[in-house]
Amino acid sequence: MSECLISLKKSNFNSFEIIISDNSSTDGSQQWIKDNHPDVILIENKKNFGYAGGCNIGSEKARGQYLIFLNNDTTQDPDWILHLVNRMDSNILIGAAQPKILNYYKKNVFDYAGGSGGYMDLFCFPFARGRLFLDQEVDKGQYDNPQKCFWASGTAIIVRKKLFIEARKFEEVFFAHMEEIDLCWRFQAMGYEIWVEPKSKVFHKNAVSLPMNSQKKYYLNHRNSLIMILSNYSIPLSLYLGSLRLIFEFIAFLYAIKKLDYNHMIGILKSGLWLVINPVTIIKKRINFKKIRRVNDKKIIENMTKNSIVMQHYLFRKKTYSDIVSKKD
């Protein structure tokens, strides 16, 4: 956190406030912030509300037109905020944007969490320019063009505060992982666009809060992806694509058995069990999504990849975003 705050305070943007929403840390972080950064607004939550809940609480204290949600395991270029704000100011229909996110330890490699703009296939499997599953590309300037994407990474995402509130903020049942994808989906259902601005650069350590192969990470990724497919599409599409997605879940489970990856196996099983015992949560989310929807599925799907990226990657050995999009329609 120290490195993040030092980097953040070197930002060239002339008007911003720093708010830390602390999810009941037990490592003395709160007192350290008070002693070393008294200018920072510190919110001390009584329990761990996850990324989604912690950010929602922090947003209530923010006074600006824009909100930037930023992971504390990042450093940033001095002009990163300026470039993001310029992108948002360029078009009132841009609801959210992200910077180019590179790996902290290998600064010429795209980070797992967001790369240079997030995308998704119809079955709610996310990927990014610069990252396809665990394959991360070297940044050679191939994704330096700003463009529309499907989701902006929660590692560093700027949103319009008014729109964020209208969209009902982050879905707190997600706790962590994919809550930003869900939010960006809702923005698009409201008629707004999501962009990536590669002139803005952030460097991310990745998987500090949850290790890549932890059971909880597997559980949240599978569960939250399934929640989206069952609650954000129209009922016919949710049933159709949800049924096909279950086939992928079964294949993933068999693959985990083959690799003796018990954390992955248990994560998949727990995600399925959660869906079985929480149908009311799905129904409520569907109702809330319908209340804000102004754009139909057909329009939103135009910004999705039609082919399964699972099949493209594991069966046809596609390794990059460019490989996928060249075959997507």
Condensed to tens digits (0 to 9), the pLDDT of residues 125-170 reads: 999 999 999 899 999 999 999 999 999 999 999 999 999 999 999 9
Query: Does the pLDDT of residue 175 top 70, yes or no?
Result: yes
**Which of 61-65, 77-81, 203-207 is the least confident region?**
203-207
Q: Which of 63, 75, 141 is nearest to 105 (CA)?
A: 75
Domain ranges of the chain: 65-329
- Length reported for the chain: 329
Q: Which of 176, 7, 153 is nearest to 78 (CA)?
A: 7
pLDDT (0 to 100) of residue 329: 43
Structure tokens at 30: 């709160």
> Rounded to the nearest 5 degrees, what angle is found at the Cα of 75, between the Cα atoms of 71 and 78?
120
CB count within 10 Å of CB 132 equals 22
**Which of 17-21, 210-214, 243-247 is the least confident region?**
210-214
Q: Burial level of 242, CB count in 10 A (0-12/13-18/19+)?
A: middle
> Rounded to the nearest 5 degrees, what angle is found at the Cα of 52, between the Cα atoms of 96 and 277?
120
State the SS3 of 3-67. HHHHHHCCCCCCCCCCEEEECCCCCCHHHHHHHHCCCCEEEECCCCCHHHHHHHHHHCCCCCCEE
Mean pLDDT of 62-90: 97
What residues contact residue 63 under an 8 Å CB cut-off, 6+ apart? 17
Return the higher-pLDDT residue of 206 and 125. Answer: 125
Share of the chain above pLDDT 90, in %: 91
pLDDT averaged over the chain? 95
Mean pLDDT of 220-224: 97
The secondary structure element, H or E, covering residue 328 is: none
Strand order in the sheet with 131-132: 118-120, 126-128, 131-132, 135-136
pLDDT (0 to 100) of residue 196: 98
Single-letter amino acid, residue 287: I
Cα–Cα distance, 210 to 84 (Å, whole number)? 27
Cα–Cα distance, 309 to 329 (Å, whole number)? 12
Question: Rounded to the nearest 10 degrees, how much is the dihedral formed by the CA atoms of 178, 184, 185, 190?
Answer: 150
The full DSSP string for 255-314 is: HHHHTT-HHHHHHHHHHHHHHHH-HHHHHHHHHHHHHH--S-HHHHHTTSBSS-HHIIII
CB 304 within 8 A of CB 121: yes
pTM for the predicted model, two decimal places: 0.95
Mean pLDDT of 301-317: 93
Mean pLDDT of 10-15: 94
Q: What are phi and psi of 213, to 5 degrees?
A: -105, 20
Query: Does the pLDDT of residue 197 top 70, yes or no?
Result: yes
Single-letter amino acid, residue 174: F
Mean pLDDT of 193-202: 98
What does the DSSP 8-state code read for residue 146?
A: -
Structure tokens at 307: 């082919």
Mean pLDDT of 62-89: 97
Cα–Cα distance, 157 to 13 (Å, whole number)? 16
Q: Model confidence at 328, in pLDDT bands (50, 70, 90)?
A: very low
Q: Model confidence at 208, in pLDDT bands (50, 70, 90)?
A: low
CB count within 10 Å of CB 211 equals 11
